[in-house]
A and B are shown apart, each in its own frame.
Chain A
């Protein structure tokens, strides 16, 4: 039984042509995560299409339109487990118009896998994927240099691509990058070690995913507890009970800790931490618990409990790297609802500082229109203070979304600078 096994979430970026679907299919197939009836279904489809071998890429097709058009439209989630870890794959489309899906898939990932076709090396799309992984602060990147079989498993080709990628990476904020030469089609270095590339000393992809250290991916320093809702049982034994329900965003809370409630500034001490009827001595991210305090204080959804000696910044003016996700462009000085942890306020985009040219990664000034898939640095003013940390420090208390009240749609995602 996998009692202490961790959950690792990774995202795959690449276009159909890079062999992304084949890689996922291979990973699932060789780790024996594909069931017989699923395999039967794709064998039938492969035959219908007149293919000689089973096309593992078919395994990731979901919606009818995707099967018909042979493309991935939306993020799909896949699951597999090995004796070492449970994995969640966010399979995101790699086409240029689908930046929003990549951002979505990347937002919760520990690891970004970026596919490169060994014949083509680093292309604009690779830059875009690396940029988004860096922007979303994904802690680890695995660069899969695929289709090595088509370049005679050449170490030279591999080294050249590694150098090209390192040049991009040097301009981005990425810390942990690993390179794996592979052939997803034939299974080289995906689950099983390749015998075709004896010059490669590293581990195959699955082993890398199984063993990489992810325990430090979550911020354990800054104790933040956004209150989701207040539990008031109103029943015998619990007449005066007020439990603050939420999920620890970061850091560690212990019984007896001196805490401050933001934004009110009231202080108290933690009386108890509970998960159902279990009393806990401490709670850390990402645990869902309820917290009781020594003092009777007015606390509601949107407030944040923090340790008194380490508080986030309370601010109405925030600078954000904003990714526009909606077909309708941002309206100048229009108001949006802003969501930050459990807090909701009204916000206005006051200024577009610059926009990124997503292909060259150059900053463009003077163009203030925010269209679908645009990534830009903006200044936002909110009606009341938000309790923020920088996204680099804290992915939970450093992220926001904007909602258009006219359509109720989520129109933008932002990372607080």
Chain B
């Protein structure tokens, strides 16, 4: 006699696969937004399952800030080969060169907000009608309000107060020319769920997630990696620490934590004991209480 219910990871997986297949059925030209971080890797893994034995029937899109961890780019290129899918790159550097955006100035300048323009330009140029993202509702308070199928107007903007109601498992992706959708298949996953699933499925992730020795500087309560883009303040000092990253983004804003977790088992165990949210190490979210909401309204991931 078998049990006829799914455990929570299987149910989350099933839900995500359902969403990915709905996207494929309802849109002409979807892409998976791929940053090389664990959440977008997970989405790609789920997409592989959703369409097997066919290949993932749409490309990956990478919004490249130019401030990458070299490991991420290598990982991205390897996964493309493995999945046999195409890549679309939106380059923030090109947006700067073309005068579409200007670099931020000041000591905490990042290219984070500049990505919005590059992303929206890439969506428009490639006639993308649905960009699938690895956003999760547990990440941040504005994200807690996101739909699975989230409408963007013809300026790429999100209107959180005027969202379409989303009932049962019926998703409405209808839109007019020039508008697009964002789809979030792993909306209901938490950071812990992601790690438990990665561990269970033994999914390959960039080495940056595992504890390693790295040159870092202590800034805004986390260890910011040394890179060619780092501008040292007078009082700051580069040290070598054994660290790992909980999230991956632009190398200039992604802070690491001191850790000895060098296996998936150890990471899952470490995460389960964490008392800080994962985005707590992202300086982009620390700018104000509504930093994420403001960026999302403009068209951010």
- Give a binary string over B41-72; 1 marks a CB under 8 Å from any A CB, 0 the rest: 00000001111111100000000000000000
Alpha-carbon distance between A74 and B2 when the two chains are bound, in angstroms: 39
Give every chain B residue within 8 A of A401 (Cβ-Cβ).
167, 170, 172
Q: Look across to chain A and name the residue whose beta carbon is closest to the beta carbon of B174.
A: A408
Give every chain B residue within 8 A of A3 (Cβ-Cβ).
7
Give every chain B residue within 8 A of A266 (Cβ-Cβ).
none
Q: Look across to chain B and name the residue whose beta carbon is closest to the beta carbon of A400.
A: B170
Alpha-carbon distance between A86 and B138 when the two chains are bound, in angstroms: 13
Number of A residues, CB within 8 Å of B: 82
The answer to whether A252 and B4 touch across the interface, beta carbons within 8 angstroms, is yes
Give every chain A residue within 8 A of B142 (Cβ-Cβ).
62-63
The answer to whether A275 and B168 touch across the interface, beta carbons within 8 angstroms, is no
Q: For chain B, give the interface size range.
A: 35 or more
Alpha-carbon distance between A162 and B200 when the two chains are bound, in angstroms: 45
Within 362-417 of A, Cβ neighbours of B (below 8 Å) are at 395-396, 399-401, 403, 405, 408-410, 413
The answer to whether B168 and A77 touch across the interface, beta carbons within 8 angstroms, is no
The answer to whether A275 and B49 touch across the interface, beta carbons within 8 angstroms, is yes
Q: Is B196 an interface position by the 8 A CB rule?
A: yes
Q: Which of A41, A78, A108, A408 contacts B172 (CB 8 A)?
A: A408
Q: Is B206 an interface position by the 8 A CB rule?
A: no
Give A239 Cβ to nearest chain B Cβ, in Å. 11
Give A34 Cβ to nearest chain B Cβ, in Å. 9
Give every chain A residue within 8 A of B100 (Cβ-Cβ).
none
The answer to whether A395 and B168 touch across the interface, beta carbons within 8 angstroms, is yes
Q: Tell me whether chain B's interface is mostly helix, strand or loop, or mixed.
A: loop
The answer to whether A35 and B276 touch across the interface, beta carbons within 8 angstroms, is yes
The answer to whether B53 and A231 touch across the interface, beta carbons within 8 angstroms, is yes
Alpha-carbon distance between A86 and B10 when the two chains are bound, in angstroms: 12
The answer to whether B12 and A7 touch across the interface, beta carbons within 8 angstroms, is yes
Q: Is B277 an interface position by the 8 A CB rule?
A: yes
The answer to whether A228 and B4 touch across the interface, beta carbons within 8 angstroms, is no
The answer to whether B293 and A63 touch across the interface, beta carbons within 8 angstroms, is yes
**Assuming the A-B contacts A284-B4, A301-B25, are A247 and B172 also in contact, with contact meaning beta carbons closer than 8 angstroms in the complex?**
no
Alpha-carbon distance between A408 and B275 when the two chains are bound, in angstroms: 43
Q: Is A339 an interface position by the 8 A CB rule?
A: yes
Give A88 Cβ to nearest chain B Cβ, in Å. 6
The answer to whether B138 and A2 touch across the interface, beta carbons within 8 angstroms, is no
Q: Which of A6, A74, A101 contacts B8 (CB 8 A)?
A: A6
The answer to whether A399 and B170 touch across the interface, beta carbons within 8 angstroms, is yes
Most A CB within 10 A of own CB, among B141, B142, B176:
B141
Q: Is A287 an interface position by the 8 A CB rule?
A: yes
Q: Is B28 an interface position by the 8 A CB rule?
A: no
Q: Which of B50, B167, B192, B290 contacts A107 (CB 8 A)?
A: B167
The answer to whether A276 and B52 touch across the interface, beta carbons within 8 angstroms, is yes
Q: Is A286 an interface position by the 8 A CB rule?
A: yes
Within 1-19 of A, Cβ neighbours of B (below 8 Å) are at 1-7
Q: Is B163 an interface position by the 8 A CB rule?
A: yes
Alpha-carbon distance between A215 and B163 when the two chains are bound, in angstroms: 32
The answer to whether B192 and A104 touch across the interface, beta carbons within 8 angstroms, is no
Q: Which of B6, B160, B165 contacts A100 (CB 8 A)?
A: B165
Q: Please report A residues at the B interface, Cβ cutoff 8 Å.
A: 1-7, 35-38, 41, 61-65, 67, 73-79, 81, 85-86, 88, 100-101, 103-104, 107-108, 214-215, 218, 220, 228-229, 231-235, 237-238, 241, 243, 245-247, 252, 274-277, 282, 284, 286-288, 290, 301, 325, 337, 339-342, 395-396, 399-401, 403, 405, 408-410, 413
Q: Please report B residues at the A interface, Cβ cutoff 8 Å.
A: 2-8, 10-15, 17-18, 21-22, 24-25, 48-55, 137-138, 141-142, 144-145, 160-161, 163-170, 172, 174-176, 187-188, 190, 192-193, 196, 274-277, 280, 289-290, 293
